[in-house]
Every structure is written in C-alpha cells, then in structure tokens.
Amino acid sequence: MNKVYASQAAMPQNPAYSAPSAASLKARSSTAGYDVTRIREDFPILHQEVHGKALVYLDNAATTQKPKTVIDCIRRVYENDYSNVHRGVHTLSQRSTELFEAARETVQKFINARHCHEIVFVRGTTEAINLVAQSFGRSTVKEGDEILITAMEHHSNIVPWQMLCEQTGATLKVAPIDRNGELQLDEFEQLLSPRTRLVSVVHMSNALGTINPVKAIIERAHSREIPVLLDGAQAAPHMAVDVQDLDCDFYALSGHKLYGPTGIGVLYGKEKWLEAMPPYQGGGDMIRRVTFDKTEYNTLPFKFEAGTPNIVDAIALGAAVDYLESIGMDAIAAYENQLLHYATERALEIPQLTIVGTAERKGAILSFTLERIHPHDIGTILDHLGIAIRAGHHCAMPVMDFFGVPATARASFGLYNTFEEIDILMDGIRKVIEVFG
C-alpha cells in the first residue's frame, strides 16, 4: 500500500506575512477533488447555530462528530438485529454475532492486522492501555524493571504505568522532548536498558500535534527485544495505520475520536503477546469451561472480552471505518495537512499568538497561547462566536509544565473542516485580542 502520512512536508519555517486570500487559494486549489461540502452533508450536527452563529467545530482531538451512517447503523441494529452475542441459537443472536464479528474484521483490515483475533474490543484507548499494563505488565514486570514513555504522553499513557510501577516496584522512565515538541530520539535510545520491559509511546500527540517517528522507535526497541505499545487515539483518525508495517506490538485507539460511537475502542496486540498474557477481567464469554476447581480460558480475542461487550457501538465503529475508507485515509490525511498548513500560516500573522508544538511532522492540531490572555477566556469568547475549541491542559499536564504554560487553547481539525472555518477562527482570535484590549 502506498501511504501518505499527514504533514510529511515541512511546516512553514518563517512567520513571514502572507496574504490570507492567496495562501487560502493556494491551499484550496491543491485539495481539488476532496469534496468537503458533500462530506459535511453527512454530519447532521454540524448544521446548527451556536449563540446565533454557524457552528465551527474545532475540537476534534477531544472527540469527533458522527456521520449519518454511524447514527443510522445504531438505530438499525437496535430496531432490527439486536440481541446478545456468542450465546444464542436464535436468529437475532446469530445476526448480532455476525455483525459484531464483521465489525472486528473491518477494524482488522483498517489497521491491517494479520489476524482478526488480534483485535480486542475495549471501551477506548484508556482501557486498552490499562489492559496491557495490568495483564502484560503484571505478568512480566518485576521489581527493578523499567517502562519507557515520553514526555508528551496523555495522562492515560502515564497513570496506568505509574500504577503498575507501584504494584511491581518497577520504574517509569521518561524520554525528553525539545522546544518544538519533538521526541529526542537519541536520548530515547539511551534510556533503553536491559531492564526495559515495554516502551509505550503516543503515535500523535493530542496536546502538540507531533507525529512521532514511531518506526524508528520500534526498530530501536526491537533491536533490544523490547515490545512497543502505540497510543493511536489521535493518529488513527487522521492517517493510514498499518500495524504490520509499523511492526508495533500493541496499538490502542478510541472509536469516538474516529467518527464512531463513545464507549468502544480497540486494542490490537500481536498474537504471540495476547496468547501469553493472562486475562484482564474475569466473567462470562472469556471462559471455555468453569468448575470451582479450575477455569479454562477462552481463545483470543474472547479471553480479553469478559462480559457482554458493547455490541452495537462495536458494529457502529465498523460503520465509521467503512465511512472513512469510502473517503480514503490518504485523502483525509492530505486534506487535513493542507488545513494545518493554512491554519499555521494564518496564525503566524497574529503577533500576539504563540504556537505550542512546532514539530516538523504534525497532525492537524493547532495549540496556541495569546499574550496575557488565558486560554479559558479565549475559549469562552470563541464559543460566543460559535467556535468550539478546547482550552486547558489537554490531559497532558507534564507537557504544559515543560512549555511553562498553565494551559493552551487548541483548535483541532477533522475531515469535515474547511478553510473558511479557519478564517472564522482567525477573525475570532483577533476579536478576543480586541475585547481584551
């Protein structure tokens, strides 16, 4: 497969002023063929007013809106096909089971996993990482061992490891980042030690937008036989992901950031690890045979799916993936890359604005601060203009500490955002500055 990753091209280096209309025209012409107007039609929620203004939804890193196919899918399944899975001989149960397993296969193909049973349905990225920490971690990590993460992780890729370290006496090591928000790969490599049991790294940072050099990370870890988990919560919705090509050992993602429902996510794990790992939770579905003396666990992936799963949302996640593939991940990545370039250029025209996160390879996230205006105030005023952004620490407090800011304002783009919306955002930011005089 020929893959184009988001933001492979260098970001604009100098903050030279460029007329917005020219830049905008340039960007727009190079995305010809990507029919964003039609795409927006697929998202009912986008067509509303907030505070009397057309909604401009730029909080896609927090969560994404749902296309009609996903909403309809949920309704259709509950109205026609719904029952419990894997346990009935009756027709509805069989239909639900087939749809549920078909969704697993859809996800398998989406991230190009070798086997369908390497796809474990979980609640989201957070649960996926906790599963690995508690199952893989508690069975292999001993006192004095080390887990290596980076300084740009989301709290959900920090806290589960701190908990594991507390339980086992292992140590959490943190590879540093630089002022652009890029991982310092050499330092990272030096932190790989004979005691490192696992590397867990974000594929794309939600606070900074940085896309990590995950292939290089994985090669370096694998040359020491250390497995690698990738937190794909942000990457999966914005670029083609091929877990075999990456050769990662685990990959975690959240349905709700992938234009799918909340409460469903995926843990991909290589068969050899999942086979060796003990179950994470006990209950129905994860067993083959239970007596009071001994329980035999079920095969993969069911060993890790105790209890009735989130059946309908898993099926709807399959619908979300189908939707993304109907547009094409490479087309989405290329389009969003244009949005990011345009937003970055326009942002650099505003002298009071500082971009936080200027890595060379970035996903479509613009984190910024304004001189002497707190991000919270920016968020409230933009909201009044119909613009939804996030203001805060983005569940990455160590990143905020590193950049010496309490919080940032963050505009994060998705496949349905437009160049016009970026113009509205920039006008809004200028209004904020004006109001605060």
Partner 1 sequence: MLDQIRDLYQEVVFDHNRNPRNFRVMEDANRKIEGFNPLCGDKITLYVKVNDEGVIEDLSFQGSGCAISTASASLMTEIVKGQTEEEAQHLFDIFHRITTGKNEEAVNLEEIGKLAVLAGVRAYPARVKCATLAWHSLQAALKNEANTVSTE
Answer for which of 73, 207, 391, 396 binds partner 1 (CB under 8 A) is 391
Closest distance to partner 1 from the beta carbon of 384 (Å): 5
Closest distance to partner 1 from the beta carbon of 436 (Å): 7
DSSP, residue by residue, 131-154: HIIIIIIHHH--TT-EEEEETT--
Per CB under 6 A, does 202 bind ligand PLP? yes
- CA-to-CA distance for 115 and 303, rounded, in angstroms? 15
Answer for which of 246, 385, 411, 424 binds partner 1 (CB under 8 A) is 385
| Catalytic residue, candidates 73, 116, 248, 395 | 395
Answer for which of 50, 159, 327, 395 binds ligand PLP (CB under 6 A) is 395
Choice between 124 and 309, CB closer to ligand PLP: 124
Choice between 316 and 378, CB closer to partner 1: 378
Residue type, 432: V
Query: Do the beta carbons of residue 405 and residue 372 sit within 8 Å?
Result: no
The DSSP bridge pattern shows strands 171-175 and 146-150 to be parallel
Helices then strands, counting H and E runs in the chain, come out as 16, 17
**Token pair 């990456």: residue:** 246
- CA-to-CA distance for 236 and 239, rounded, in angstroms? 6
Per CB under 8 A, does 40 bind partner 1? no
Alpha helices for 192-277 (secondary structure H): 214-222, 243-246, 271-276
Choice between 233 and 321, CB closer to ligand PLP: 233
Per CB under 8 A, does 194 bind partner 1? no
156 binds, among partner 1, ligand PLP, none (CB under 5 to 8 A by kind): ligand PLP
406 binds, among ligand PLP, partner 1, none (CB under 5 to 8 A by kind): partner 1
Site string for partner 1, 48-67 (x = CB under 8 A): ---xxx--------------
Which residue in 267, 208, 212 sits closest to 243, CA to CA?
Answer: 267
Per CB under 8 A, does 406 bind partner 1? yes
**In sequence order, which residues have a C-beta less than 8 Å from that of residue 114 and are 6 or more positions away?**
244, 271
Q: In 257-341, where do the E strands start and end?
A: 265-269, 287-290, 295-297
- CA-to-CA distance for 10 and 3, rounded, in angstroms? 17
Whether residue 165 lies in the annotated active site: no
Please identify, among the stretches 142-150, 173-181, 361-369, 393-401, the one whose residues bind partner 1 according to the rule CB under 8 A: 393-401
Burial class (CB in 10 A: 0-12, 13-18, 19+), 384: middle
Per CB under 6 A, does 367 bind ligand PLP? no
Residue type, 82: Y
Which residues would be at the binding site for partner 1 (CB under 8 A)? 51-53, 373-377, 380-381, 384-385, 391-393, 397, 400, 406-407, 431, 435-437
Task: Just list the catalytic residues.
Answer: 395
Which residues would be at the binding site for ligand PLP (CB under 6 A)? 124-126, 154, 156-157, 202, 206, 231, 233-234, 254, 395
